[in-house]
Amino acid sequence: MSKTSATPYFQTMSPVPPEPTPSQAPPSLETGRHESPPVPTTTSGFPKVKLRLELRDLSHPSTDLFLKNFNSAKDLNDLVDTVLKRLYTYPDHDDASTRLPMPTHTRIPPTRSVTLILRDMDGVAYTTGADIDDDHKEIHFSLGYLNHVASQKAGYTARTEILGVVCHELVHCFQWNARGTCNGGFIEGIADWVRLHAGFIPPHWKKEAGKSWDTGYQNTGYFLDWIEKTRGTGSVYVMNQALFHKKYDGDTYWKDLFGQSVDSLWREYTESLKKPKDESESYGDPNFKMQIRIKQDVEG
């Protein structure tokens, strides 16, 4: 879930549900332009950011649960690396599966620091810009929600859920949002698409159409994954880059990229869900160090 420090009001988080679900997506809000220019980069190097951890209640039982399942120094760095690779590593221009024109230069938001804050609050988590400067991000993670993590289904560990939530929120620290005008469900869908491919998949996630393409979270995440597979590797990369420099216009954005409206793409996707499922389909890149470590943890 993402917030912006420019908003003049405080938004109350949704209550923690019995079955863990993502917190509600906020409305899209207009934000000011960054004074710092975006960072051009290549696949060989990403900007380094300062990472911090803030524990606001050491006596809370969930603080101990978090510290036992999250190596703050290593995991946070690895997750940032995972997010940047998914959002900003584009395929080789000669890759036959790449059908979209690739931007000449990759642009990354000028995020300078990320502070992960554990505190007692409603909901699951949200991301916001710090009061001093929107280039400094804060991820607020609910200690109350962590109380429910231990009751996950067999085979799904507390560590995997913690990594998944932090991964999702880190996407909000580094993704473009069309200067604050992008559809909120689209923003949340990109975050869950990254989480999906990082392999942190909760047991309640299902590949289903839902009410609309911009329902957000995993529903939109699976839709974006279908676009990635049917319109070419690098589609989500190009979609994110297209949110860099101008305001979001749903009537032109999708047609400029894919030659058809998002409603047309959505209809194709919902029809594809009626076909037999591919049992061989799987997510998560085994080359990511994070995935290797999770596998080792699960297997003991």
- What one-character-per-residue DSSP string does 111-146 give? --EEEEEEE--SSSEEEEE-SS-TTEEEEEEEHHHH
Q: Does 206 fall in a domain?
A: yes
Burial (CB count <10 Å: 0-12, 13-18, 19+), residue 174: buried
- Rounded CA-CA distance 12/128 in Å is 14
Q: Does 8 fall in a domain?
A: no
- Rounded CA-CA distance 72/79 in Å is 10
Q: Does 218 fall in a domain?
A: yes
Closest CA to 243 of 229, 256, 261: 256
Residue 108 forms beta bridges with which residues? Answer: 39
Asked if residue 205 lies in contact with residue 293, where contact means CB atoms within 8 angstroms, the answer is no
* pLDDT at residue 275, rounded to an integer: 84
* pLDDT at residue 148, rounded to an integer: 83
The identity of residue 185, as a single letter, is G
The identity of residue 62, as a single letter, is S
Dihedral sign for Cα atoms in the order 228, 233, 237, 243? negative
Indicate the number of domains in the chain: 1
* pLDDT at residue 100, rounded to an integer: 58
- Rounded CA-CA distance 299/73 in Å is 23
Q: Does 15 fall in a domain?
A: no
- Rounded CA-CA distance 159/68 in Å is 9
Q: Does 91 fall in a domain?
A: yes
* pLDDT at residue 3, rounded to an integer: 60
Contacts of 245 (CB under 8 A, 6+ apart): none
Q: Does 16 fall in a domain?
A: no
Per-residue pLDDT of the chain (300 residues; tens, 9 = 90+): 766 444 333 333 434 444 444 444 433 333 333 444 444 333 446 888 999 999 999 999 999 999 999 999 899 999 999 999 999 987 654 454 555 555 667 889 999 999 999 999 999 999 999 988 999 999 999 999 998 886 666 678 899 999 999 999 999 999 999 999 999 999 999 999 999 999 999 998 999 988 899 999 999 999 999 999 999 999 999 999 999 988 999 999 999 999 999 999 999 999 999 987 764 455 654 334 444 444 444 444
Which domain, by its residues, includes 272? 39-299
Q: Does 55 fall in a domain?
A: yes
Dihedral sign for Cα atoms in the order 272, 1, 14, 52? positive
* pLDDT at residue 102, rounded to an integer: 55
3-class secondary structure, 243: coil
Question: Hey, what are 82's tokens?
Answer: 């995972």
Contacts of 10 (CB under 8 A, 6+ apart): none
Dihedral of the CA atoms 128, 193, 246, 23 (nearest 10)? -30
* pLDDT at residue 151, rounded to an integer: 67
Q: Does 20 fall in a domain?
A: no
Question: Hey, what are 145's tokens?
Answer: 């929600």
Asked if residue 189 lies in contact with residue 217, where contact means CB atoms within 8 angstroms, the answer is yes
